[in-house]
Structure 1
Amino acid sequence: MTAASTNGSCCTPESSCHSGESAAQAGEITTTYKVTGMTCGHCEGAVNSEISELDGVVSVRAEAATGLVTVVSRAALDEAAVREAVDEAGYELLGPA
């Protein structure tokens, strides 16, 4: 008997498994923004920290190499608030990627 066919399994009938938590749970919104000026891990941390403080933000992942910042939130975020957070970190938000 496989894990997918046993009662109490974490797997769905379609055989996809989950651990109980993921980057974006049902009802959460994932938005990717383009940010200029990030060059290193410190930059990523500064952007992550500022955006994480916005109401409704579940997770943030900034990548200096690509200039992309992926934000998971409980509801759509106000772009002006995201722009202000990125500005506070010392970088420039170009907009959604």
Structure 2
Amino acid sequence: MTAETTTGSCCTPDHSCGSDSAATAEAAGVTTTYQVTGMTCGHCEGAISQEVSAIDGVSSVKAVASTGQVTVISAAPLDDEAVRAAVDEAGYELVGQV
């Protein structure tokens, strides 16, 4: 189970539901993937997603415990220290960008 926080809906502006909503969100922002240590379950994914989602400009966060990767879509490139602080606040360690 993965946690994902998004703004808006899965439907496109023309009100058709597409299965490629991630690509739509990706086209509207900057996608950055980070490596995080310590995630082991869905609760971990949710905790990281919640903290990183609170960073200004973040529109989507997807944390995957099995890979330790956190993919963030934002309006502009994020400050790595802001992401590190959010991950630390959740109780995990940011290794760096993938």
TM-score, scaled relative to structure 2: 0.76
Q: For 1:23 and 1:55, locate their aligned partners in 2 and report how far apart those are by CA, in whole Å.
A: 16
TM-aligned CA deviation for residue 23 of structure 1: 2.8
1:23 alignment partner, SS class: helix
Tell me the residue number matched to 1:89. Answer: 90
> What stretches of structure 2 of length at least 5 have no aligned partner?
1-13
Tell me the residue number matched to 1:33. Answer: 34
Runs of 4+ in 1 over 3 A off after TM superposition: none
User: Which of the two has higher C-alpha Rg?
Assistant: 1
Paired AA for residue 25 in structure 1: A
How many residues get paired?
A: 80
Q: For 2:54 and 2:27, locate their aligned partners in 1 and report how far apart those are by CA, in whole Å.
A: 19
> What stretches of structure 1 of length at least 5 have no aligned partner?
1-9, 11-17
Tell me the residue number matched to 1:74. Answer: 75
Tell me the residue number matched to 1:58. Answer: 59
Question: 1:38-96: CA deviations, max 9, x gaps?
Answer: 00000000000000000000100000000000000000000000000000000000000
2:52 alignment partner, SS class: helix
Identity of aligned residues (%): 62
Tell me the residue number matched to 2:26. Answer: 24
More relative contact order, 1 or 2 (CA 8 Å, 6+ apart): 2
Q: For 2:27 and 2:75, locate their aligned partners in 1 and report how far apart those are by CA, in whole Å.
A: 9
TM-score, scaled relative to structure 1: 0.77
